[in-house]
Structures are given as structure tokens and as C-alpha cells.
């Protein structure tokens, strides 16, 4: 009996030590400026791109990250827009978008792919909007790379279709940023 108790205690101790040795998912490093590029999925309208980028940027800044200044952001967007004829950009090629960001001096690039669905009128005569988002983040030196393991879904209610869409994508983008900084 003593042997059994001893073996159980050893086994529990071993589990505790090995669980403590497993590192948690590391937060995005705070070295250099962060560039955020939002890309609509499946050829959807880019109407909500600013909402997605601003929600992610706001969370990053409040968590102590530096983001690229407005002039660099415009340059990155202009370079990406010039590549729109390229099939890779139209498919939301993460590698191509990150290379553009790094070429303008970003230390870390975050690409957010998002989708906003058409809201449905619910039984309370309000609209229910749904949105989803995934992300990839990588530093320019290749030391840090992180991609969302799952699609982040959001469902929000609004008095109009546009309000429901805006609230749902804003919530999904905020959840993306939360994943990046935790």
C-alpha cells in the first residue's frame, strides 16, 4: 500500500513539474512598430477594413505596443492597393502583405482576414449581425510567428443592418487583438 501511495505521489509530482515546464503561448513581442493590414475574405467589400484595423490598433496601443505612424500606414496601403491586380493579393496572401509591411520598416506585421455576413431580422424586430476573423502575426526577423488557431466569431444585435454589421466586426476584431496581446 505504501508503495502504491509513493508511486501515485511521484506520478502527480511528475505531472505538476512537466505542466509547469510547458510554456504558454507567448504574447507578441513589443520590439519595433506593428503594421496592421485587414483583408476581407472571399472577395467581400473592403468597407469594414478601417473598423477592423482601428479596433486592432487601439487594443495594441492600449497594451503598450507601438504601431506604424499614419504616413507609413498610408504607404503600406498604397503599395498593397497597387498589388490588387496580383492574384495573390486578391486571395489575401499573408506572405505578400507581410513583405510589403516589412519593406516600409514595420518590425511586426499583423494581417487580419475578416468576413461580415448579412444581418438577419430577428423576432424582436432587431438585426443580428455576424462576423468572423482570423489573423497571422510575424516579426521581420522570423523570430516570432503566430496564427490564430480558430476563426473568431462574433454575433451582435443592432437597430439597423449597418449597426449590426459594424458592432459584430468591431467585436471580432477586438477579440483578435485580445488574442495577440495575451
Q: Are 168 and 116 in contact (CB under 8 A)?
A: yes
Pairing of strands 108-116, 34-40: parallel
User: Any idea which residue has 493590414 for its cell?
Assistant: 37
| Statement: residue 23 has pLDDT above 60 | no
Q: What pTM does this model have?
A: 0.76
Domains and CATH numbers, the chain: 33-181 (3.40.50.10610)
**Mean pLDDT, residues 25-33:** 75
- d(CA 111, CA 94) in angstroms, rounded, equals 7
Question: 102 versus 29: which is more confidently predicted?
Answer: 102
Q: What is the pLDDT of residue 86?
A: 52
122 in helix, strand or coil?
Answer: coil
For 121-177, the pLDDT digits (tens) are 999 999 999 999 998 888 888 777 888 778 899 999 999 999 999 999 999 999 988
pLDDT digits (tens, 9 = 90+) for 41-95: 877 777 888 899 999 999 999 999 999 988 888 888 788 777 654 545 445 567 7
Please report the pLDDT score of residue 5 as a whole number. Answer: 43
Amino acid at each position: 500500500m505504501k508503495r502504491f501511495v509513493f508511486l501515485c505521489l511521484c506520478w502527480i509530482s511528475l505531472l505538476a513539474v512537466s505542466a509547469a515546464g510547458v510554456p504558454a503561448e507567448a504574447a507578441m513581442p513589443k520590439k519595433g512598430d506593428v503594421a496592421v493590414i485587414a483583408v476581407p475574405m472571399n472577395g467581400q467589400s473592403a468597407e469594414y477594413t478601417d473598423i477592423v484595423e482601428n479596433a486592432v490598433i487601439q487594443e495594441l496601443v492600449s497594451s503598450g505596443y507601438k504601431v506604424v505612424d499614419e504616413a507609413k500606414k498610408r504607404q503600406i496601403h498604397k503599395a498593397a492597393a497597387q498589388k490588387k491586380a496580383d492574384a495573390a493579393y486578391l486571395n489575401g496572401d499573408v506572405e505578400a502583405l507581410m513583405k510589403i509591411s516589412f519593406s516600409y520598416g514595420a518590425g511586426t506585421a499583423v494581417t487580419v482576414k475578416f468576413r461580415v455576413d448579412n444581418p438577419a431580422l430577428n423576432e424582436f424586430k432587431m438585426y443580428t449581425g455576424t462576423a468572423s476573423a482570423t489573423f497571422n502575426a510575424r516579426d521581420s526577423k522570423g523570430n516570432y510567428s503566430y496564427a490564430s488557431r480558430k476563426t473568431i466569431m462574433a454575433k451582435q444585435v443592432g437597430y439597423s443592418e449597418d449597426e449590426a454589421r459594424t458592432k459584430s466586426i468591431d467585436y471580432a476584431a477586438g477579440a483578435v487583438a485580445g488574442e495577440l496581446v495575451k
